[in-house]
A and B are shown apart, each in its own frame.
Chain A
């Protein structure tokens, strides 16, 4: 088995996350899809770090993890504040700019 398997696994997880963002209506599940995509990218970064024999990829994955934490905090705060005003966590109900 070569390291390519990790890259393929990363691609599969990334695609599943992307499809979850596209298809799920619950905004929290959509955010989880974003998290899954970031994790898949991290797996790819770490695999390439091992491939090239230096740790720059791991440092990059570390920063991705950090930005993901900040993103989740803000994203969930937005979800909560939307839920407070509109009593719904569904993406379809956020349509004030429509029409």
Chain B
């Protein structure tokens, strides 16, 4: 971005830059104050994101195009998103406590901040400095090229050290956040032994739980599966749904099945569980209807099936020809 340069001659910035400054700077200060006053950490993070984007605007306006882009990519894109990730990890509702542990800390802190502002502003405004020169000369080959020349000539050793620093930081983060394994990792045999012990002790289930919707009239996760005996297995609904009370009964999904179940349990109530299980009658299973393609008692095939078969045969013959 090439801006008309009058800084070297007049010592003041262009009118466009002045307008940009007076529009964005108050907003940036307001957003920075949001960091102080926002009760929720996520709001504070979004305020800091706004401050950083407006700072990127200032960098670009001040002829530091490379750093302006790096500010957006590194700060708002990487660092603040890392902050947001950790906020989500730690818990968004981990809100700040309002209690003052040190008496009067808030007023002393505010006073110190105001004093710091006054001090820095006084120094900046009263110091005698040379006339501003502008970067037109240094940015002759565009700003990124100028920065790169300097970075890889005068500061090449610092670049190497910075690489070491970054690698150390990455390794340090991995080491710090690695979870300690407090007990040995359970093997497959350990898991099986534990299941058998639980079964021996309290008759717990050995196998895995059936998925919800098995043999059921509905495939949603909140409807219990039906066992082979036709009864709903409540454990097949995920535990979270059960604890929240979001489990649905069979009756709410398929009233006729529930009525059937109730009838079968009442009719078999007295026989001590030794009840005869009839064929399921599911489509494609042997049961109430003759399976497709089988010869019925009359020796004839079902009509619809036979026409379909001849149709496919005809198609095959045509293909062979």
Q: Which residues of A contact B79 (CB under 8 A)?
A: 35, 68-69, 72
Q: 1/0 contact trace for B1-39 toward A, CB 8 Å?
A: 000000110011100011001100100110011011000
Within 8 A of A (CB), among B144-190: 146-147, 150-151, 154-155, 158, 162, 165-166, 168-170, 172-173, 176-177, 179
B89 touches A80 (CB 8 A): yes
B170 touches A61 (CB 8 A): no
| A94 within 8 Å of B (CB atoms) | no
CB < 8 Å neighbour of A78 from B33, B125, B176: B176
Most chain A beta carbons < 10 A, residue from B74, B82, B120: B120
In this complex, what residue of A is CB-closest to B85? A76
CB < 8 Å neighbour of A53 from B67, B112, B138, B154: B138
In whole Å, how far is A11's beta carbon from the nearest beta carbon of chain B?
Answer: 3
Q: Which residues of B contact A28 (CB under 8 A)?
A: 41, 45, 83, 86-87, 90
A29 touches B94 (CB 8 A): no
A39 touches B52 (CB 8 A): yes
A56 touches B150 (CB 8 A): yes
Q: 1/0 contact trace for B205-225 toward A, CB 8 Å?
A: 000000000000000000000
Q: 1/0 contact trace for A12-50 toward B, CB 8 Å?
A: 111111111011111011011101100100110011011
Q: 1/0 contact trace for A60-96 toward B, CB 8 Å?
A: 0111011111111110111111011000111010000
In whole Å, how far is A5's beta carbon from the nearest beta carbon of chain B?
Answer: 6
Q: Which residues of B contact A31 (CB under 8 A)?
A: 83
CB < 8 Å neighbour of A90 from B33, B97, B147: B97
Within 8 A of A (CB), among B247-287: none
A4 touches B165 (CB 8 A): no
A36 touches B51 (CB 8 A): yes
Given contacts A35-B48, A53-B138, A63-B162, contact A77 B173 (CB under 8 A): yes
B94 touches A69 (CB 8 A): no
In this complex, what residue of A is CB-closest to B36? A20
Number of interface residues, chain B, beta carbon within 8 A: 90
A26 to B35, CA, bound (A): 11
| B200 within 8 Å of A (CB atoms) | no
In whole Å, how far is A39's beta carbon from the nearest beta carbon of chain B?
Answer: 5
B25 touches A77 (CB 8 A): no
Q: Which residues of B contact A24 (CB under 8 A)?
A: 35-36, 44, 96
B67 touches A70 (CB 8 A): no
Q: 1/0 contact trace for B124-151 toward A, CB 8 Å?
A: 1100011011110111000100110011
21 A-B pairs (CB sep. < 8 Å): A23-B109, A26-B95, A29-B35, A29-B96, A32-B35, A32-B83, A35-B79, A42-B55, A43-B55, A46-B62, A50-B64, A51-B129, A53-B132, A53-B133, A55-B138, A55-B146, A62-B151, A78-B176, A90-B94, A90-B96, A92-B101
Interface residues of B, Cβ cutoff 8 Å to A: 7-8, 11-13, 17-18, 21-22, 25, 28-29, 32-33, 35-36, 41, 44-45, 48, 51-52, 55, 58-59, 62-64, 66-67, 70-71, 74-75, 78-79, 82-83, 86-87, 89-91, 94-97, 101, 105-106, 109-110, 112-114, 116-117, 119-121, 124-125, 129-130, 132-135, 137-139, 143, 146-147, 150-151, 154-155, 158, 162, 165-166, 168-170, 172-173, 176-177, 179
